[in-house]
Structure 1
């Protein structure tokens, strides 16, 4: 065996590890390449996608979907209530969206928004970390649970050989418990730039991509008695992985180059940019089926409005409504809206009565929003009573795990009992 051949084989043996450690190749891109090389195909373009949007801090559902005709509402909130004239009225229901959520009324009229009212769980906690853990693990009675409900779903997807990266976290806050998995790889990113080729220090802009393409060509050519990569399983593995890495990289770069999209206008909000990144990744068709992002900040602040609530809460709801509407408009442009459902949640609602500081305190039940073209749209369930309360908080009539079970069984095609540990009744949320 010649020295050149020995060195080439030694290099090819180490190449996968070398490339995966390179700072110029995103870890997600390399893992996706490994998955696609192993299974021999790219992601199927008809896979459904679930996006979970956390409203951090405890959203005040009562000033989000507002019972403006209810006398008990006006009495409980003399300084922070909204009147019939101010809200965006939802038909003749006596309910209306917050004045800064006009975009949600449009989505509701287009049957692309569903409002599940009165969502919570028995003996719900009112401390941020504990309540958030309950919603993210979907195991309120088990403080020892080490995985999240979406992480367990990701494990199920990965076990079915759909791909090595079934879920992704898009934000710059701490990695959420909801995505903690036993086996599945769940990366965290901030923007599309994190998933494209980057030049090594002092090297030309395309140096990393050119290197991978060179490896692909080299492992496809005869090397004396070593033969082609097709005759050598190790070389074939290297060739297929590098080829897939190049393909995925090009696909991401092509998506990035399409920005800005002249007829899709995203507002200048952090959430809008995160949803835009998710839309780009869905469009790139990499096989990721679960995305998680958030609104409200890394610490428990955001929606936690104990004082002077009207201004801050309105600004957050405006960002939510405008960002989600732009996101769906973007997906509709490429006929992707029927493949995607976005679901919101918050760790708890707020107290019915304001607290004397023009704010509200930690409560219980609140609405969950679902957005997408596959949904029936409209209101689901009755608005909770404002007089039959749970220690000054709204009582729930829909367990949040019913919403989760419906998303798992009916949307992602994953057995909800395996993920949630028991069977929960599903909700009638989808058109068919």
Structure 2
């Protein structure tokens, strides 16, 4: 079958790879000059199944007010005259209940766990390298109240058999020795030893090379303009290079997916939530993190990637703007220097932002649409890197008529027909 994959980020490229491995003739279309140059370019670097949780949860509305008032708060809202923004926020608030949080998390963890297993298998098959490490994630708590509040998260980890360690101050230093210098700032931690790290951009570009060896074609610097459809099927894609046609089409355009689908009458509640990162050269290897430290107070992830430290965070609801705001860099700088004061050289830092494609309930949207040959793989939010290989494998199975290894029914677009939308 001839398949067009629309989008050249980590989701699009993993989807193309697994489709090609299944014997399909695949072309990836993207407006950039290379793969993984937008949201996949400089994310926090975490492959964190155990940290796969919806942003919408009980207590979040109250916390959001506090975050908005913090100097280095993890949440920023820049209001716009955009009905889609306010509708998305309203839907997210409706998901901030214990019952909905439990349902949504139950849809995310199996996919994230499966995806990590797929990544490990892919790594074994291809010998792909991407500054990867398998040293776990340490969720670091500065306050005892944060330690006392992890019971619900631990219950979910137990439910899904996700290994974890509850650590005291000394345990945190044992996992991340460089924290010894700031031991007095630590109340405790929750460590997820099976989580991994790696450079998503490096991975995606390397996988694109492997995909090309399987016959995948890449139509880069090609702007996707619109989908051409009749009553039941997609007939082609209008692009800056002309009309491209295939037997099947996969939309993997992240935050831009909803724009492309809307003219067809397909509504998916995927909206951009901007994240920021800095990438800093390591100044002292012994004073840098071993893996990922999630600074829970600021919701900032500090990750070692080869000879660099990647610091990522902030949830900024500001539409489709990629403007870099210095105050957001100040938050990332603060978290890094407060926990790893000698680890990185901020003079050499590069500052970046990307638009995470968020759904209001948390899980991505994967599967078929009412058009028989149109499929979706989008809406992964902060977990695109974590869920990429599993999502690509699942989509390839669905399109090939095979039953996926995990149940994906609850990830379909049809879930927005019920009250959890």
Q: TM-score, normalised by structure 1?
A: 0.26
Q: TM-score, normalised by structure 2?
A: 0.27
Question: Quick check: which one's strand share is greater?
Answer: 2
Larger Rg: 1
